Amino acid sequence: MIKRRNMLFQFVMYILTFGLYSFYWFYSTLDEMTKFQGKRTEPLIWTILMFIPIANLFAMWKHAKVSSEFTEKEYPPILLWVLWVFVSPIVWILMQIELNRVAVRTTSTGQSAE
């Protein structure tokens, strides 16, 4: 199920946890998007890779690819990946807006993502 998340709350949590909240967000959203699409992945492994230099580029690519599929290719994976590498807050904002849209839509229609 896709959860609706408040952007202000996320920003505050990011500050209070000295950036660690972003790893929780990465894990949660990757897990939610893959389950919503009926796919299987290991979000914990991809999140751990975010801590390892060079390997984190592959983890960012995985999230970008899943995000692109989730938005039905509205954002090309290469664009999301480049944004991840150079200005990751932009990806966070774009994807959270898309996730919130789907969360509201599935809640209002009574659909379940699982």
Q: What is the pLDDT of residues 1-55, one digit of tens each?
A: 899 999 999 999 999 999 999 999 999 999 999 999 999 889 999 999 999 999 9
Give the residue from 40, 60, 38, 51 showing the smallest Cα distance to 114. 38
Reported pTM: 0.89
Q: Domain limits at 69?
A: 7-107
Summarize pLDDT for 68-105 with one digit per residue, the tens: 999 999 999 999 999 999 999 999 999 999 999 999 98
Q: What is the pLDDT of residue 108?
A: 74
Residue 92 lies in a domain: yes
Nearest to 67 by CA among 42, 89, 36: 36
Q: Is residue 90 part of a domain?
A: yes
The tally of domains found in the chain comes to 1
User: Does residue 114 surpass a pLDDT of 70?
Assistant: no
